[in-house]
Amino acid sequence: MLKIENLHARVAGREILKGLSLEVNAGEVHAIMGPNGAGKSTLGNVLSGRDGYEVTAGTVAYNGVDLLTLAPEARAAAGVFLAFQYPVEIPGVNNTYFLRAALNAQRKVRGEKELDSMQFLKLVREKLKVMQISDELLHRAVNEGFSGGEKKRNEIFQMAVLEPQLAILDETDSGLDIDALKQVAQGVNTLRSPERAFLMITHYQRLLDYVVPDFVHVLADGRIVESGDKSLALKLEAHGYAGIGAGHAAAPHRAGAQA
């Protein structure tokens, strides 16, 4: 589904991604871990096409299409969903209205008929039931005054309604109490399917107790320096990042290329 090769990206004039490669197949859950400032959120932002993130080299193929040439809304319509580390508040805009507008915008790009308010409410009710989420957040403005946990739960609900093919979750576990963490994890597990893939950026292996990943990658200094299964997250929890990917990080960067 997703093939990233030798991706280099710059933010505010500084190179942050430095040759990142990663392959994700449909049905897989990949956890991305790594030290602060390594470039994890930058990867999510580059994949979703956020302004200010400049790709300087490398390729990203999504279902065989060059993702980097697509506008952000075309990426969303093609099924790429990014849940932000710090979800934005949109005061005065009703959450349900926002979600319907987002869904219909995507349907329009895909050439599908827009849902009217009755059809949309039916969908929302179904999703609330499946996701075991109460409807209290739907009547409020988007994320306005939401607690950290409510914002994250709202994101999972947005994901349930938008039904992305590739869901990128950036620190979905940060700031959650244990019950909220379990609820968010249950939401992700409910949405796992053979057609859908997840990239989960996380700092703690705790989330991975509830959403068991197929692969765990360590992103350090703009590259994936080590990959493994869930046991890699346990190793990181026990020993931190010291020594991880040392061989890779120390490898000469395209030695001789400029000679």
Ligand X SMILES: Nc1ncnc2c1ncn2[C@@H]1O[C@H](COP(=O)(O)OP(=O)(O)OP(=O)(O)O)[C@@H](O)[C@H]1O
Binding site for ligand X (CB under 6 A): 11-12, 16, 34, 36-42, 52
Q: What gap in Å lies between CA 6 and CA 167, rounded to an integer?
A: 21
List, as one string, the DSSP characters of 15-68: EEEEEEEEEE-TT-EEEEE--TTSSHHHHHHHHHT-TTEEEEEEEEEETTEEGG
95/173 with CB nearer ligand X: 173
We find the least distance from the C-beta atom of residue 174 to ligand X, in angstroms, to be 9
Q: What gap in Å lies between CA 80 and CA 96, rounded to an integer?
A: 20
34/164 with CB nearer ligand X: 34
We find the least distance from the C-beta atom of residue 238 to ligand X, in angstroms, to be 19
10/107 with CB nearer ligand X: 10
Residue 17's alpha-carbon distances to 10, 29, 220, 245, in angstroms, are 7, 22, 9, 16
Structure tokens at 243: 């020594």
47/156 with CB nearer ligand X: 47
We find the least distance from the C-beta atom of residue 255 to ligand X, in angstroms, to be 25
We find the least distance from the C-beta atom of residue 123 to ligand X, in angstroms, to be 33
Closest CA to 188 of 4, 1, 28: 28
We find the least distance from the C-beta atom of residue 140 to ligand X, in angstroms, to be 27
Q: What gap in Å lies between CA 160 and CA 149, rounded to an integer?
A: 17
46/103 with CB nearer ligand X: 46
